[in-house]
Structure 1
Amino acid sequence: MAQSEVRGEAPAVEDTMSLKPKASDMPARSGRHGGGRPPGRAQTDRRRRRRRVLRWSAIVLAVVILGTAGAGYAYYQHLNGNIRKGARANGDDSKAHRTAPNADGETPLNILLIGSDSRNSAENLKLGGNRSHAGDPPLADVQMLIHLSADRESASMVSIPRDTRVDIPECTDPETGKVYPPTNDIINVTLARGGAGCTLLTWENLTGVYIDHWMTIDFAGVVRMADAIGGVDVCVKQNVWDHPTPQVSGGSGLKMRAGTHKVKGKQALQWLRTRHAWGDDLMRARAQHMYLNSMIRTLKKQNVFTDTGRLMDLAEAATKSLKVSEEIGTVKKLYDLGMQLKSVPSDRITSVTMPNVKDPDNENHVLPDEANAHKMWQMLQDDVAFDKNGGKSESGKAASKDKPAKTPSLDAARLGVLVQNATRTSTEAAVQQRASAIGQVLVQKGYARAQADTSGSLAEDKTVVRYPSADLEGDAQAVAKALGIPMSAVQKSTGVSGVTVVVGADWREGTSYPKQSKPKAGDLPANSDAVNGSDTTKCMDVYSVYQW
């Protein structure tokens, strides 16, 4: 520890002369033996020796405490030095907004976990993957949103398959400054188009869910974490061997007999990377959910704080394995996050995969199942629990009501309002003249300067009203009220220059905004492949080609 960190000093070493008995302490000689010990002298000497030992013990203890504190501080700094950090988001084109606090002023926490397929180190190349991709920008082959409810009583883990085709916004590489234009591609390329911050931005625009932090982990990191934990239990129904076949090249190499096994090290990585043996990429997401649920149960059973070696192994592995968004880039903040997740009961943790449909343009890709995916995103935005085990309180505390309306700054007739057609979805074309139809509704309600944006159709799940600055918030609220749009859909955005109505896929017909039913706890879409964190009975089915 640096000298400035010491709050006090070690006890001063006493003068050894003071340890000698004083003349007044020496008993008078008496008795026939002259110089012999008087009665009680041995007991007095023992007391003196005891006091001397205690004094020196205190000195040694003080030195040990100071030395250990110094070493602890140095080790803490060492762990902080292990952590790699990056910008939270690598662009400004976000359409997500924070969930309103609940009645107790608490807000949910959203963390995006990204598994990188990087082959840019000898360690990662040794662990798997095609060597021809060494040096290529990494892809985000695993993407999972961890949602902690505002009251921290439930948690959800949502995966999006890596081959999901989505709209990717403009992103800037934080290291090179290169700007990548918007595109439509599969979601795993986002990591190569500006890093984890671009992946986060893509998720926000797809889901409308504000994401607080991101974390990335590569092949080597998975191995280190599995070893530090001591292994994770997984289960298969049949003997499995994920190996190359004449029809399909590649494979993770996972080979094990039917039943439950504790996997660690390279075998843990093989489990998480296996795809062919489970049948497809969607089943790989299920296997990953089962692994994470098992890992959380394992950590809950372990009391690492009474096992210094295990604690140090976990701290070393975690800080070396993770790259995180800069606002959580310290050991303490990562520890606090871990403790919040660990406090959630296992039966209140639910893992799901985004509802999806086959991409008609490419059989190897999928698209969001618009209606069911939207329902899931709505549950996250409203902080509704994915499980039914929380009783009547659903996610804990009731959400706060909409903010009170503000006074408009302009008369309706003088306010310019732009209406955009965003009814296009991944499976349906935009509704023609939709912006013009809603613009006419506004004109009839006194907004004479309302006009349709003719620059092209957009794609938004939900209808929103956006405004660029605080002085126009009241005007945006008034527009929303005129159309029957809820106040929760009024959002501040730097992406607009004035009050803008974005007519989403939830309002494809009619001139009155349709009433939206609020989702209930546990009311998940049937095709979300939900797995509860307390379920220890789940085993993976093995595709017949990969049984042995």
Structure 2
Amino acid sequence: MGQSSVQGEAPAVEDTMSLTPRGPDTSAEAGPHGGGGRRGGGRGTDRQRRRRRVLRWSATVLAVGILGTAGAGYLYYQHLNNNIQKGKRSSGNSKAEKTEPNAAGQTPLNILLIGSDSRNSDENVKLGGSKDNRGNPPLGDVQMLIHLSADRKSAAVVSIPRDTRVDIPKCTDPETGDTYSAANDIINTSLARGGAGCTLATWQNLTGVYIDHWMTIDFAGVVKMADAVGGVEVCVNQNVHDRPLPGVPGGSGLKLTEGPHKIKGKDALRWLRTRHAFGSDIQRAKAQHMYMSSMIRELRGQNVFTDTGRLMDLAEAATDSLTVSEEIGTVKKLSDLGMELKSVPPNRITMMTMPWAEDPQNRNHVVPDGANAEKVWAMLRDDVPFDKNGSGKPSGKKPKEVVSSDPAAPDGEIGVLVQNATQSDTLGVVDGRASTVAQALVQQGFTLASADTSGSYAEERTVVRYPSAELEGDAQRVAKSLRIPLSSVKRSAEVSGVTLMVGADWRSGTAYPKQSPPKAGDLPSNADALNGADSGKCMDIYEPYRW
């Protein structure tokens, strides 16, 4: 029989008899062996054989097609992976710690985006317009921290001007092995002192924010990405031509008429590099924020994931343009990252520049603006939304306070070393804090408490550290006596006994001050914030560059 002998089993592909209608001219008559002897059946048998061959051929072609497509997809995926250049996440000294997870086990995601002025290729020399700088170590002239909240409902982008004077830690270049001693210099030089990993460590020390990944992009990469996106709308309030003027060399070459324009390629690079026509580096950061906001809105409005050609163009440009920290150096991880960022609506994205003040050592440089800058860093550390369009609550939860089962020794038997860690790039240092707090502990009965007067340290937040489990109870007892939360008591291999580090958040008094967390959207007035949904902004042009 033509049908399968197994009940309910589908006929095999080659069993064409079961698929062929049987009429009077094709009914079987048993031959000598019960086989295909049919009256007048020669033509029918040939037809059946041809059908078998066609089905075999079709199945073969289908299989080859599937395998070929899968193989091509795999090869293209590998090609994209091979495009990506990778580097070490951190190459400098930094002790920043991750924010505690929220109730769902999520943590914020922080990515440092660095725009390099590298002119180490013909293409970058041509686009950068400065042959004299070819071969020089690259500078990180654009630096932005992208913060994605733990619940993935809001995001913030914070720029630091390239001429901000900061403390750059000791860094080792992972490619050359060269070591650079710590320095106090403008932040864009950190890229040349150990690569992007040194810039990341510098940011972490400045802000106290743990940064998960970095990405760098050069002139040529900006052009490729701008072309792949298909154009981004920008706007100027007056005609602009950023060009050399008497006594003021340079200029990006940007030339636009008043009003909105959709720019891409070299014009996009000119927009992002324009400084003189916008008035300053600070205003350039504002123009970059406008461009990024517009690009996000443009991408969200495109059906990228249903347009294979567009998707491939973007994938090719992104993997060929970016250098990333090694832990995100695959197409899948970058794609997952993009999908997380894509989930945030534009009205929950806030872009701003670090609050700054003129550098007293050099009027051409800036420094973080004390308490205002520290407020921004605290909002990032505590995962407080920069906008007011959500619930208004931080997406991170308060760390749970766990009381140690290890009993504390009597107060008079607990040795405590107190260190002054109030040093802060934004707030400076408060002299004498270690001695003041150590004396307060002695008065409370901790007679073995002493101050470390060998120097100052830097901790954004006060912390009590202990080296081993048997000293956890002692460390918690010290914290409790000074009203320091138990979540700030941490085990560390870097100390030899109970060590109290008086941080930048405790600058006066002998009892740890109650911390009032900032509220959602409560940004300093000089943050120059821009909401991602605001499409009506235009740049003012410095008068000498109008035409």
TM-score (norm 1): 0.88
| Alpha-carbon separation, structure 1, partners of 2:120 and 2:290 | 28
| Alpha-carbon separation, structure 2, partners of 1:305 and 1:51 | 40
| Alpha-carbon separation, structure 1, partners of 2:162 and 2:17 | 77
Structure 1 range deviating more: 453-462 or 56-65: 453-462
Q: 1:436 to 1:400 in 2, by over 3 A?
A: closer
| Alpha-carbon separation, structure 2, partners of 1:216 and 1:472 | 44
Q: 1:359 to 1:489 in 2, by over 3 A?
A: farther
Residue 401 of structure 1 and its aligned partner are, at CA, apart by 3.7
- Partner residue in 1 for 2:33: none
Q: 1:401 to 1:457 in 2, by over 3 A?
A: closer
Cα deviation code 1:318-355 (max 9, x no counterpart): 11111111111100000000000001111001111111
Indicate if the aligned counterparts of 2:408 and 2:473 stay in contact, CA closer than 8 A. Answer: no
| Alpha-carbon separation, structure 1, partners of 2:219 and 2:273 | 9
- Output the amino acid matched with 1:61: L
Indicate if the aligned counterparts of 1:232 and 1:263 stay in contact, CA closer than 8 A. Answer: yes
- Partner residue in 2 for 1:181: 181
Cα deviation code 1:242-268 (max 9, x no counterpart): 111113211111111111111111111
- Output the amino acid matched with 1:478: R
- Partner residue in 1 for 2:82: 81
| Alpha-carbon separation, structure 2, partners of 1:110 and 1:231 | 27
Alignment of 1:44-59 (within 5 A): 53=54, 56-59=57-60
| Alpha-carbon separation, structure 2, partners of 1:125 and 1:470 | 57
Alignment of 1:398-417 (within 5 A): 399-408=397-406, 411=409, 412-417=411-416
| Alpha-carbon separation, structure 2, partners of 1:446 and 1:25 | 112
Alignment of 1:335-414 (within 5 A): 335-392=335-392, 394-396=393-395, 399-408=397-406, 411=409, 412-414=411-413
- Output the amino acid matched with 2:147: H
| Alpha-carbon separation, structure 2, partners of 1:472 and 1:142 | 45
The residue matched to 1:278 in structure 2 has which SS?
A: coil
| Alpha-carbon separation, structure 2, partners of 1:25 and 1:487 | 92
- Partner residue in 2 for 1:3: none
- Partner residue in 2 for 1:254: 254
Structure 1 range deviating more: 406-415 or 368-377: 406-415
- Partner residue in 2 for 1:116: 116
Cα deviation code 1:195-253 (max 9, x no counterpart): 11111111111111111111111111111111111111111111111111113211111
- Partner residue in 2 for 1:465: 464
| Alpha-carbon separation, structure 1, partners of 2:216 and 2:354 | 20
The residue matched to 1:276 in structure 2 has which SS?
A: coil
Structure 1 range deviating more: 414-423 or 290-299: 414-423
| Alpha-carbon separation, structure 1, partners of 2:468 and 2:301 | 50
1:444 and 2:471 are equivalent in the alignment: no
Residue 85 of structure 1 and its aligned partner are, at CA, apart by 0.9
CA RMSD of aligned residues (A): 3.1
| Alpha-carbon separation, structure 1, partners of 2:350 and 2:285 | 13
1:423 and 2:422 are equivalent in the alignment: yes
Q: 1:82 to 1:354 in 2, by over 3 A?
A: same
The residue matched to 1:383 in structure 2 has which SS?
A: coil
- Output the amino acid matched with 2:537: K
| Alpha-carbon separation, structure 1, partners of 2:335 and 2:375 | 32
- Partner residue in 1 for 2:219: 219
- Output the amino acid matched with 2:400: D
Q: 1:119 to 1:468 in 2, by over 3 A?
A: farther
The residue matched to 2:225 in structure 1 has which SS?
A: helix
Q: 1:487 to 1:543 in 2, by over 3 A?
A: farther
- Partner residue in 2 for 1:33: none
- Partner residue in 1 for 2:540: 541
Indicate if the aligned counterparts of 2:26 and 2:44 stay in contact, CA closer than 8 A. Answer: no
Residue 192 of structure 1 and its aligned partner are, at CA, apart by 0.8
- Output the amino acid matched with 1:403: E
Residue 55 of structure 1 and its aligned partner are, at CA, apart by 5.0
Q: 1:467 to 1:213 in 2, by over 3 A?
A: farther
Indicate if the aligned counterparts of 1:112 and 1:143 stay in contact, CA closer than 8 A. Answer: yes
- Partner residue in 2 for 1:7: none
Q: What is the aligned length? A: 524
Cα deviation code 1:259-282 (max 9, x no counterpart): 111111111111111111111111
Indicate if the aligned counterparts of 1:465 and 1:489 stay in contact, CA closer than 8 A. Answer: yes
Structure 1: 5+ residue stretches without partners: 1-11, 29-37
Q: 1:492 to 1:238 in 2, by over 3 A?
A: farther
- Partner residue in 1 for 2:292: 292
Q: 1:514 to 1:14 in 2, by over 3 A?
A: same
Cα deviation code 1:275-297 (max 9, x no counterpart): 11111111111111111111111
Q: 1:227 to 1:501 in 2, by over 3 A?
A: same
| Alpha-carbon separation, structure 2, partners of 1:497 and 1:516 | 29
The residue matched to 2:63 in structure 1 has which SS?
A: helix
| Alpha-carbon separation, structure 2, partners of 1:288 and 1:267 | 13
- Partner residue in 2 for 1:506: 505
Indicate if the aligned counterparts of 2:115 and 2:142 stay in contact, CA closer than 8 A. Answer: yes
Cα deviation code 1:168-197 (max 9, x no counterpart): 111111112222111111111111111111
The residue matched to 1:68 in structure 2 has which SS?
A: helix
- Output the amino acid matched with 1:323: T
Identity of aligned residues (%): 69
Residue 410 of structure 1 and its aligned partner are, at CA, apart by 5.6
The residue matched to 1:319 in structure 2 has which SS?
A: helix
| Alpha-carbon separation, structure 1, partners of 2:525 and 2:190 | 28
The residue matched to 1:174 in structure 2 has which SS?
A: coil
The residue matched to 2:277 in structure 1 has which SS?
A: helix
| Alpha-carbon separation, structure 1, partners of 2:269 and 2:497 | 50
| Alpha-carbon separation, structure 1, partners of 2:54 and 2:482 | 85
- Output the amino acid matched with 1:525: P
Alignment of 1:32-181 (within 5 A): 53=54, 56-91=57-92, 93-181=93-181
| Alpha-carbon separation, structure 2, partners of 1:224 and 1:471 | 58
Indicate if the aligned counterparts of 2:115 and 2:143 stay in contact, CA closer than 8 A. Answer: yes
- Output the amino acid matched with 2:61: V
1:268 and 2:261 are equivalent in the alignment: no
| Alpha-carbon separation, structure 2, partners of 1:386 and 1:271 | 26
Indicate if the aligned counterparts of 2:16 and 2:48 stay in contact, CA closer than 8 A. Answer: no
- Output the amino acid matched with 2:505: D
Cα deviation code 1:460-510 (max 9, x no counterpart): 443333345555444433322221122343345555443322223332322
The residue matched to 2:118 in structure 1 has which SS?
A: coil
Indicate if the aligned counterparts of 1:151 and 1:395 stay in contact, CA closer than 8 A. Answer: no
Structure 2: 5+ residue stretches without partners: 1-11, 29-38
| Alpha-carbon separation, structure 2, partners of 1:403 and 1:525 | 31
Indicate if the aligned counterparts of 1:97 and 1:491 stay in contact, CA closer than 8 A. Answer: no
TM-score (norm 2): 0.88
Indicate if the aligned counterparts of 1:154 and 1:395 stay in contact, CA closer than 8 A. Answer: no
- Output the amino acid matched with 1:286: K
| Alpha-carbon separation, structure 1, partners of 2:468 and 2:380 | 26
| Alpha-carbon separation, structure 2, partners of 1:64 and 1:475 | 70
| Alpha-carbon separation, structure 2, partners of 1:256 and 1:196 | 34
| Alpha-carbon separation, structure 1, partners of 2:112 and 2:487 | 24
- Output the amino acid matched with 2:546: Q
Alignment of 1:271-350 (within 5 A): 271-350=271-350
Indicate if the aligned counterparts of 2:167 and 2:425 stay in contact, CA closer than 8 A. Answer: no
| Alpha-carbon separation, structure 1, partners of 2:426 and 2:336 | 42
| Alpha-carbon separation, structure 2, partners of 1:471 and 1:235 | 63
Q: 1:416 to 1:306 in 2, by over 3 A?
A: same
| Alpha-carbon separation, structure 1, partners of 2:215 and 2:516 | 34
Q: 1:51 to 1:479 in 2, by over 3 A?
A: same
| Alpha-carbon separation, structure 2, partners of 1:492 and 1:254 | 54
